[in-house]
Amino acid sequence: MTPQHVLIVGASLAGVRTAEALRAKGFAGELTIVGAENVVPYDRPPLSKGYLEGKRTAEQLALRPTDPLLQSLNVRMVLGTAASGLDLDNRQVSLSTGDSVSFDALVIASGTSPRVLPGTADLPGVHTIRNLGDADALRPKLVSDAKVVIIGAGFIGAEVASTAKSAGADVTVLEAVPIPLSRQLGDEMGTAVAAFHQRNGVTLRVACSVSHLTATHVHLADGEALPFDACVVGVGVQPNTGWLDQSRMDTSDGVLCDSSLRVIVDGSPDPRIVAIGDIARWVNPRYEYEGPVRVEHWTNAVESAEHAATLLATSSSAEPFAPVPYFWSDQYGNKIQFLGRAHGFDEVAVVSGSTDGKFVVLYRRGDRLVAALGVSSVKTVMGYRRRLLDGCSWSEALAAVDATRNN
């Protein structure tokens, strides 16, 4: 039997897409979305790119531009209100306003927040990027000759570096590990992608240990002090699970789910509670050897929302959630696209172009194709999505490359 009232905690991409998908699948019950930010739900990727550059407006970021309050979906929107606790026995979520909301089914989509460095919360020149206000605060500081120091050479850091550089700023990126993005891309490709910084006039300093920040300087462990007009901290995120602390779920890193995204409560999956988007930690059967992971990509929010809606709105048995993860990053005029998971890969092979420009690289693990990376090679790399979905062998993948070359 389908639930009477679905409560979605989180009014960003994953939460809104779940509401849309539930209605599209014929769910006619009550729907409530609770969101901590007091704004119409919006899309976050442009916050470090087009919106930060000033090329796109806040209105253009709305997730449902023609329907700001989701009226056509008949959804009750409770915005500017955070969830503060979960009472599993009574099936109620308490809210920051002091009210509480009952549910038959709960969708946990409360997302993540940027990690901050200790002692920096009140420093006006130190920024993180997660919401519209963050981007609004940073944008006026990205001007010609401004000194911008970015801590963390991940994708957010790299995109902000690219945006700041295009505004004419003097940009330095500091990275703690010797090779940026090595966890996501491996050492060789991490090095290749990080090379875009230097090639575009941005200073990248790796294996660089930050001691502390003041209002005007980043102090390094070796005693050097780097002055800044703006410092942007992009050192990862932490899941927004504070409201679930007393809930008998495993919230050690996000919310632990079974392979269908049903949340594990007291050791077994609860069929009426799902977690989606970047807060959900689950074993993707396609990459089972990796163990439970959280995936912080835009596409994961969309695909997990669709999956959750199927789970809740239909009486079909719980299928595993087994996507081929995808992310993209726009930096220095390059489009970086990645399909699959590089975890534990054995080999990479360049199948198109060369790694100092446009290229496509495939990743092998055992006898399987597990991932594909493309830089400004949209058509070629996206051609591998179907092969990755089909579970293509390494030899088949290489044979297909040869066939294309011989055409």
Contact flag: residue 383 with other proteins (CB under 8 A): yes
List 228, 321, 326, 394, residue binding other proteins (CB under 8 A): 326
List 92, 94, 203, 299, residue binding other proteins (CB under 8 A): 299
Q: To 5 degrees, how large is the angle CA 234–CA 237–CA 240?
A: 150
Element (H, E) at 111: none
List 140, 386, 390, 404, residue binding other proteins (CB under 8 A): 386
Shortest Cβ 382–other proteins spacing (Å): 4
Q: Looking at beta carbons, which pairs linking 297-300 to residues 24 or more positions away fall under 8 Å?
A: 297/325, 297/326, 297/327, 298/13, 298/44, 298/45, 298/327, 299/323, 299/325, 299/326, 299/327, 300/325
List 81, 131, 241, 337, residue binding other proteins (CB under 8 A): 337
List 220, 349, 382, 400, residue binding other proteins (CB under 8 A): 382
Contact flag: residue 73 with other proteins (CB under 8 A): no
**Pairing between β-strand 262-265 and β-strand 268-275 as defined by DSSP bridges:** antiparallel
Shortest Cβ 50–other proteins spacing (Å): 9
CA distance 390 to 377: 21
Contact flag: residue 298 with other proteins (CB under 8 A): yes
Residue 247 CA neighbour count, 13 Å, CB half:
30
The strand pairing partners of 360, in sequence order, are 352, 374
List 86, 262, 330, 345, residue binding other proteins (CB under 8 A): 330
List 33, 302, 336, 392, residue binding other proteins (CB under 8 A): 302
| Helices 298-313, 13-24: crossing angle, 10 deg rounding | 40
The smaller minimum CB distance to other proteins, of residues 93 and 372, is found at 372
Total interface residues for other proteins by CB under 8 A: 20
Contact flag: residue 115 with other proteins (CB under 8 A): no
Please name which of 220, 216, 219, 212 lies closest in space to residue 230, comparing C-alpha atoms. Answer: 216
Cα 50–chain centre separation: 17
Contact flag: residue 405 with other proteins (CB under 8 A): no
User: Which residues within the stretch 89-108 sit at the binding site for other proteins (CB under 8 A)?
Assistant: none
Residue 256, φ and ψ in degrees, nearest 5: -75, 130
CA distance 357 to 359: 6
Contact flag: residue 335 with other proteins (CB under 8 A): yes
The smaller minimum CB distance to other proteins, of residues 128 and 337, is found at 337
Sign of the torsion formed by the C-alpha atoms of 365, 370, 375 and 378: positive
Element (H, E) at 205: strand 203-205
Mask for 20-59, x = binds other proteins (CB under 8 A)? -----------------------x-x--------------
The smaller minimum CB distance to other proteins, of residues 349 and 382, is found at 382
Residues near other proteins (CB under 8 A) are 17, 43, 45, 63, 298-299, 302-303, 306, 326, 328, 330, 335, 337, 378-379, 382-383, 385-386
